[in-house]
Structure formats: C-alpha cells, structure tokens
C-alpha cells in the first residue's frame, strides 16, 4: 500500500510542484516552455503532462526508498537533493540524447539549472505530500 501512496505523491507533486515551478520560470522568462503541455506523446497519445506525472509517480517510489528513514532536516535535504539530481541526470544524460537533443541540449547551463530547479521542487513536493498522507509520517510502515 505504501507504494501506491508514494506513486500518488510523486504524481501529484509533478502536477503541483514541478509544473508550478515551471509556471514561475515561464512567467519570468517566456522562452521557458509553458506548464501543462497537453500535446499527445507516443505510444499511447496521452498528454505530455500526464505522461510526466506518471513518471513522477514512478520516480517517487525511488525517492521514497532513499529518504524514508530520514527525519528532521535530513528528510527535507534528501527530498530536495535526491529529487533534483536523480530525475535531472536521467533526463539530461539519457532521455535528451535518446530524443536526439544531445546531452543536456549541448551542455546548455540554462537547461541544466532549470532541470535541477524543477526536480528539486518536485522532490520537496513529494516530501510534503508524504508527510500529509495518512500513515506516512516520514517513516516507512512496510
């Protein structure tokens, strides 16, 4: 049951925290893509933001595995740092090259920093949501 809660936390954190931060970055710089991309993505044709949220749910389980036994400031530090580094590294060094965009879109500092900021916000969101969910006090119950 804990995996379902963590998946939900990652999914919701994507929609609220990741996309919320993307909105703020977009408002500060219109060259940054707008949040809530509804363009269909293969192979199922679901909106890009829903696909992203699904992956956020899966990543949430890995994040939780690495932070579930933390407490106090260590809990929040791990949520933010692991959230920032893990998904960003995969996006920059695996996903982008697979999509033909090159590693970190040509080592573009704005892309790298943007990914770290977005995913740090997501990690913080997962941590907050897990604290708010019933039976999820920051410690694993399974």
User: Is 82 a residue whose pLDDT tops 80?
Assistant: yes
What is the structure's pLDDT at 138? 52
**Separation of alpha carbons 120 and 83, rounded Å:** 5
How far CA 65 is from CA of 20, 58, 88, 142, in Å, comes to 25, 11, 18, 11
**pLDDT > 60? residue 141:** no
DSSP secondary structure letter of residue 33: P
């Amino acid at each position: 049951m804990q995996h379902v809660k963590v998946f939900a936390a990652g999914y919701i954190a994507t929609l609220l925290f990741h996309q919320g931060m993307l909105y703020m970055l977009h408002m500060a710089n219109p060259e940054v893509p707008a949040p809530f991309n509804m363009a269909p993505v293969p192979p199922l044709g679901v909106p890009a933001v829903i696909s992203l949220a699904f992956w956020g749910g899966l990543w949430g389980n890995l994040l939780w595995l690495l932070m579930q036994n933390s407490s106090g400031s260590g809990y929040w530090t791990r949520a933010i740092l692991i959230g920032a580094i893990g998904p960003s590294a995969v996006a920059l060094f695996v996903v982008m090259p697979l999509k033909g965009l090159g590693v970190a879109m040509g080592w573009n500092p704005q892309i790298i920093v943007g990914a770290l900021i977005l995913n740090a916000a997501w990690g913080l969101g997962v941590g907050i949501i897990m604290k708010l969910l019933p039976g999820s006090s920051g410690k694993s119950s399974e």
